[in-house]
Amino acid sequence: MSKEDVINEFVSLKGIGKAKAELLYRSGFESLEKLKKASVEDLTKIKGINEKFAKDIKDQLIEEMETKSKKTAKPKKTEEKKKPAEKLKEKTEKAETKKEEKKSKKKAEEIEIVEEKEEAYSAKKKPTLSKEQKEKLLLRTKINRRRPEFLREEWFRYKRIPMNWRRPDGMTSKMRRHYKYRPSVARVGFRGPRETRGLHSSGFKDIIVYNVKDLERIDPKTQAARIGGSVGTKKRIEIEKRAEELDVRILNM
């Protein structure tokens, strides 16, 4: 082998660079086999190599030797050929186990508990509206999206001033005079169409209900019920049952 090939083999080991590889080559280790045969004491005699470094090199070489020996070693045949009588026994045992599994499956199918099916999703009831009303509802949603939040004058300046809307006043009020760098004021232009004022987002007209009798005066096509806040749970359940019978939609269900 040439000097370059030997140096490349040395460099393949961890912690050995070109300088150390040349040092080992000069000190008499002209192949990997010679390096493997060398002891730790022989390596420490070379200048620039400590005991720790020599041990690391030896450990790497020993690991390589063990891996090579494992690869070359042929696997031993531990399993002996089974006799025909043993094969028959195994086949019969497998057949019996399959029969038992089939029987257990049949029993499980017979004793299956029928789970309650989940209720299918049903869409909420919608009102009967004309084309004009539907168009106006869409227009109202568009106006609501672009409508700004009306805030009180100078709410950001003083902690004592709340954010809720109050009409601005005063001779020098920039907000009253509609300056561009001040927030917008509540005006008629922000209002929605007249036909849809007071309607729910679904299109129904809200009617507050406190008992079962109040449901009878509701038109289910255009009106929907809203149970009052003071109504108890017992009366609420009765109202919900009666609303299902009358086909009346409850908005706060």
Helix axes 3-11, 18-26, angle to 10 degrees: 130
Distance between CA atoms of residues 251 and 253, nearest Å: 6
The 10s digit of each residue's pLDDT in 84-125 is 767 677 777 777 888 888 777 777 666 655 455 555 667 888
* Domain containing residue 48: CATH number: 1.10.150.20
Q: Among 45-59, 127-141, 162-176, name the one with the lowest average pLDDT.
A: 45-59
CA distance 128 to 69: 87
Q: Is 134 inside any structural domain?
A: no
Rounded to an integer, the average pLDDT of 164-191 is 93
Query: Is 194 among the domain residues?
Result: no
Is residue 131 one of the residues assigned to a domain? no
| Residue 230 domain-assigned (yes or no) | yes
Are 198 and 206 in contact by the 8 Å Cβ rule? The answer is: yes
- Looking at 31, 50, 71, the residue that finishes a domain is 71
Q: Which of 15, 45, 71 is the last residue of a domain?
A: 71
12 located within any domain:
yes
Three-state secondary-structure class, residue 128: coil
Last residue of a domain, one of 30, 56, 71: 71
Copy the structure tokens of residue 210: 């406190």
Q: Quote the mean pLDDT of the chain.
A: 82
Angle among Cα 95, 98, 103 to the nearest 5 degrees reads 130
pLDDT tens digits for range 184-225: 999 998 999 999 998 999 999 999 999 999 999 999 999 999
What range does the domain containing 47 cover?
3-71
With a cut of 80, say whether residue 248 has pLDDT above it: yes
The Cα 163–Cα 148 span in angstroms is: 14
The answer to the question of residue 97 being in a domain is: no
Q: Is residue 122 part of a domain?
A: no
Q: How many structural domains comprise the chain?
A: 2
> Does a structural domain hold residue 54?
yes
